[in-house]
Amino acid sequence: MINMNFVPEDYIRNSEFRRTNLFYLVLFVVVMVALSGSFATIKMRQRALDEKERIVNEKMIQTKEAIKQFEQLQEKRRVMMKTALVTADLLESVPRSVLLASLTNNLPSGVSLLQLKLVQRKPKNSTARHKTASASKYQSLQAQNAARQVSQEKLLETHIDIEGIAPSNLEVASYIKKLSNSTLLDNVTLVESKEQKIDDMVFRQFKLTAMLKKDISLISEDVEKIKHPV
């Protein structure tokens, strides 16, 4: 049996051509949609990375500012410490470290310090001088002008209270003698010496008072001798 095709060949070719074009068109649309999605994804990721980079840059700037402020504070602290040390050297004719070295290096064998107290007071006779000076207005004005020229810190007396323990009164007397011969101290006086007993050990607990000499001028050699006696 012979099959007869009554559809024209041109129609068949045109139909196949349309189907082919439609397939390519659909494929093109799919590819474009995929490309558009990929491009949008890339742009979103790029924006996210840009935002992260901006945040990191801001944090770096803040960190640099914090480091700069910290360095400035450290520099101010160094300047303040230097100024404080210079001021302390100006106010104290005898540094506390030198005075402590003198008190400890003169300790006889077996003697130990328990307490050390430094108190600055106005001289007792300064009040009497002030009353005498106030006898006349002229003398009072002169005294006030002189007082302005002299540092109040220099007028103060430094009193020292010393408390310690010793095996016997011999060591206490030896300590008093050494302190009395010191170039730094004056008016070394024994206030109290009493016997103490702990765990069958007998020792003497003593209290001394002394006063730092005024108008002391120490050079480096004097300081070395005090801190490192021969």
Token pair listed for 154: 């220099």
The pLDDT tens digits of the residues spanning 137-154 come to 555 555 555 555 445 555
Does residue 1 fall inside a structural domain? Answer: no
What is the pLDDT, as a whole number, of residue 205? 92
Q: What is the mean pLDDT of residues 143-168?
A: 71
Q: What is the pLDDT of residue 130?
A: 47
pLDDT tens, residue by residue, 49-72: 888 888 988 888 888 888 888 888
Residues 19 and 80 in one domain: yes
pLDDT in tens, 115-126: 988 888 777 765
Domains contained in the chain, number: 2
Q: Of 42, 75, 91, which residue sits at a domain end?
A: 91
Confidence of residue 100 (pLDDT cuts 50, 70, 90): confident
Mean pLDDT over the full length of the chain = 78
Checking if the pLDDT of 12 tops 70, the result is no
State the residue range of the domain holding 183.
96-227
Residue 191 has pLDDT above 90, yes or no: yes
**Tell me, what's the pLDDT at 229?**
72
For tokens 């980079």, the residue is 53
106/49 same-domain check: no
Helix/strand/coil (H/E/C) assignment for every residue in 166-217: ECCHHHHHHHHHHHHCCCCEEEEEEEEEEEEEECCEEEEEEEEEEEECCCCC
Radius of gyration of the chain (CA): 47
Which has more pLDDT, 141 or 211?
A: 211
The answer to whether residue 28 sits within a structural domain is yes
Residues 182 and 69 in one domain: no
Which residue among 56, 91, 126 closes a domain?
91
| Same domain for 83 and 111 | no
pLDDT in the model for residue 209: 94
Q: Looking at 48, 67, 91, which one is the last position of a domain?
A: 91
What pLDDT band is residue 222 in, cutting at 50, 70 and 90? confident
Claim to verify: residue 110 and residue 147 sit in the same structural domain:
yes
Pair 182, 126 in one domain:
yes
pLDDT of residue 161: 94
Q: Does 126 share its domain with 179?
A: yes
Mapped onto helix, strand or coil, the DSSP state of residue 136 is coil
Tokens, residue 139: 């003398």
pLDDT for 211 beyond 70: yes
Give the CA angle between residues 89, 114, 176 to the nearest 5°. Answer: 75
Beta-carbon contacts of 143 under 8 Å, excluding residues fewer than 6 positions away, are 129, 130, 133, 134
Nearest alpha-carbon partner for 107 in 28, 22, 175, 9? 175
Higher pLDDT, 165 or 200: 165
pLDDT category, 7, cuts 50, 70, 90? low
